[in-house]
Structure 1
Amino acid sequence: MLAALMMLAVAPAAYAADGVTVPRPVAFNEDAEIPKAVRAECKLDEDLPDAIAAAAKEASVPVTFAPQVTSATAGRALEIEITDVAADGNGFIGHRKSMSVRGKLYDNGQVVGSFKARRTSMGGAFGGFKGNCAVLSRTVNAIGEDIGGWLAAPKMDSRLGDLE
């Protein structure tokens, strides 16, 4: 019994040391209805993996990038996609921006964790002076922090961010 408890205590540290491969850029779900201007101008697909890597580093989980990640990617690999982006409102009437993602973590082809995450922002301080991309960047950074922390102790069917 003591040996089993010690294995559980060591597992997260061993897990963190191995690192995770993350796609850069992150794919948009093919069915997602995301405004064309948001896709073209906001670079959410490039900023999200950077935000994940920064937060994972804080959790002692090294991240490497690859152009594409699938269940066949060797080692630990995060398959992730942006499933929804809402960019309603503006500086005059108020922002209502949100982003949703989902992902699966594989360890040599076996699913070891999965999640859905969503973050919403109204722009924060001086939100009325910010554009769509600046406000959506807040959601990207928050989701990146959620996922980066989750990578240190992944679980199946996790709900992150505003979905908790």
Structure 2
Amino acid sequence: MKRLLFVSLCLSATAAVAAPPVLLETPVTYAPDASVVEQVRNECHIEDMLTRHVGDVLRKLNKGGDGTVASQAGSSDARILRLQITHVMGVGGGAWSGPKATTVSADLLEGEKVVRHARINRWSVGGVWGGFKGTCSILDRTTVFIAKDLYRWVRDPSYEIREEDPPKEASAPTAQTEPQKVE
């Protein structure tokens, strides 16, 4: 019995070590029909935020290495994570202009075949000190949350990313009242 247990542990450890690494394809791109304010796109560089945060979690998952691979480089033994930014909700003015959101489309590829797909949308109002943060730093928070989601999603095939509801600050009022006359 002990021998059987030992052999099964060795085989499972070998299978875990033998799992191919997952690398983020860079550069992260915008979908052709991506909805984003041009000024936010130019100033915040959300694609760089995603590359940094997702690359970091994949480096941790792979237990070393770079975590990224250039889109033109072939990596036959690795699985590739391809991200496209599909929507960015945010304008200048930081937290004072309302919540911010980033939406990405994620494809996990083995060779040229897409084995998994997810759409991830994460919101933020800036956290405790949100009123003192700018739009780019609040959007950076959304990319951190996306990276954490992708870490679990890549590591666990049964994990499903759930759509996140917008914060209460972003929802429309439920009852409309007539404006009061100010004298």
Structure-2-length-normalised TM-score:
0.70
Decide whether aligned partners of structure 1 residues 146 and 92 sit closer, same or farther in structure 2, where only a CA change above 3 A counts: closer
Residue 38 of structure 1 is matched in structure 2 by 40
Alignment-mate amino acid for residue 36 of structure 1: E
Q: Tell me, in whole angstroms, the C-alpha distance in 2 between the residues paired with 1:61 and 1:25.
A: 22
Name structure 2 gaps, 5 residues minimum.
1-7, 166-183
Q: Tell me, in whole angstroms, the C-alpha distance in 1 between the residues paired with 2:18 and 2:164.
A: 29
Residue 135 of structure 2 is matched in structure 1 by 132
Which range moved further: 132-141 or 143-152? 143-152
Residue 122 of structure 1 is matched in structure 2 by 125
Superposed CA RMSD in Å reads 3.1
Structure of higher RCO (CA pairs closer than 8 Å, 6+ residues apart): 1
Q: Is the 8 A contact 1:89 1:96 kept in 2?
A: no
Identity %: 27
Residue 148 of structure 2 is matched in structure 1 by 145
Name structure 1 gaps, 5 residues minimum.
none
Secondary structure, counterpart of 1:31 in structure 2: strand
CA apart distance, 1:86: 0.1
Residue 24 of structure 1 is matched in structure 2 by 26
Residues 1:76 and 2:79 aligned together: yes
Secondary structure, counterpart of 1:99 in structure 2: strand
Decide whether aligned partners of structure 1 residues 14 and 95 sit closer, same or farther in structure 2, where only a CA change above 3 A counts: farther
Residue 14 of structure 1 is matched in structure 2 by 18
Alignment-mate amino acid for residue 18 of structure 2: A
Which range moved further: 49-58 or 27-36? 49-58
Bigger radius of gyration, 1 or 2? 2
Structure-1-length-normalised TM-score:
0.77
